[in-house]
Amino acid sequence: MNRILFFLLIPTLSFSQGKDVLTYFKSKDSLVGVKDHTGKIIVPAQFKVFSFLKDGDPVKEETIYFDGSKKDEIKEKNAWGYVYDKKGNFLYRPFLYDNGADYFSEGVRRFVKNGKVGFVDRNGTTVIEAKHDFVSPFNYGYAVYCDGCDWEKTNDEHKAMVGGTWGVMNFKGEVIQPVAAQTNSVEVNGKFYPNPFKYNEKEKGILQFFEKQNTKLSEIYYVNWYNKLSKEEKKLFFEIVERPKENFPFYQVNTYDYRKIDVGLTFDFKFLVSAEGQEIFALDYDNEKVPFEKWLKREIGKAQKYQEEHPDNPNKISK
């Protein structure tokens, strides 16, 4: 019996260019809607929102998200909240994860339609149609899916998906078959798959910048690990997981460990490179963009301080 657990927290990244000034508003019976700067109603007040929204709070993301239930809604399995475009058109219902809407991972998030699960991008565009009973978040270009599976019957807070037929898909939604283990292959649930990333010359140049920083970034990341790691175990991998598009003029570069697992489960070690390749930022708390050199200097300082306070740490940061 297949059994899989997920504890992935990836925040929504917002880089809307401010074309429309929209704000949330609350009705007399505390239902939430959205209007524009002239007071025109874009989405009527019909949502019971559970997040800490205040009347007049701006819509910051590329789409409009209501974190809660809809008045007189028909409950849908595995769905939570509602997403609209900025013209007020309904787009999709996010997959329910960790008591809220699914987070974005490698530029996409899961959504639910007619009980099936697929993927949408930050603009609400369907990337992979909803056709499986369950899919995992993407990690290193692959997602696990299953059909005929369901949540285990338990009172545990974190339930596992069990039963059914399982497989692995790539970012195009294509089913990928395992291969013999190779130098660049990716391990997923004990089997190996081809490296899914391919780049043009410009993109190779972007990644080369991070590769030159590999040793220093590795020392920063592993300085507070308790077990001694070999040089190969400390090697980091950098991959472009999102490219410039409407409302997002950046390449996003994620960082992975030697097992090809994302090391930045929240915002850590995720980077943005401007479309022309001239500006480089690190993502910080609350999705703030910090110039890379400023971020690097800060993180080196934090790592050195940790090492001073813990002189027996096995994975040293060099001076």
pLDDT 10s digits, 27-45: 999 999 999 999 999 999 9
Token pair 């990928």: residue = 176
3-state secondary structure of 301: helix
In this predicted structure, what is the pLDDT of residue 72? 85
More confident residue, 171 or 6: 171
Mean local confidence (pLDDT), 120-132: 97
- pLDDT of 279 strictly over 70: yes
Mean local confidence (pLDDT), 263-269: 78
In this predicted structure, what is the pLDDT of residue 234? 95
The CA distance from 72 to 68, in Å, is 12
More confident residue, 11 or 36: 36
Token pair 């699960």: residue = 117
CA atoms within 13 A on the CB side of 171: 17
The CA distance from 53 to 49, in Å, is 8
- Tell me, what amino acid is at 175? V
Beta carbons within 8 Å of 247's beta carbon, 6+ residues apart: 15, 16, 17, 62, 122, 123
Share of the chain above pLDDT 70, in %: 92
In this predicted structure, what is the pLDDT of residue 53? 86
Nearest Cα residue to 126 out of 113, 138, 137, 135: 113
In this predicted structure, what is the pLDDT of residue 75? 87
The CA distance from 33 to 154, in Å, is 36
Contact yes or no for 145/132 (Cβ under 8 A): yes
| Residues 97, 8, 115, 48, Cα dihedral to 10° | 20
In this predicted structure, what is the pLDDT of residue 126? 97
Structure token digits, residue 318 = 């060099």
The CA distance from 31 to 27, in Å, is 5
The CA distance from 138 to 290, in Å, is 25
Contact yes or no for 168/176 (Cβ under 8 A): yes
In this predicted structure, what is the pLDDT of residue 18? 47
CA atoms within 13 A on the CB side of 31: 11
- pLDDT of 64 strictly over 90: yes
Contact yes or no for 247/14 (Cβ under 8 A): no
Question: Residue 40, exposed/middle/buried by CB under 10 A (0-12, 13-18, 19+)?
Answer: exposed
Q: Which of 119-133, 233-247, 250-264, 277-291 has the lowest mean pLDDT?
A: 277-291
Q: What is the mean pLDDT of the chain?
A: 90
Structure token digits, residue 151 = 């949540």
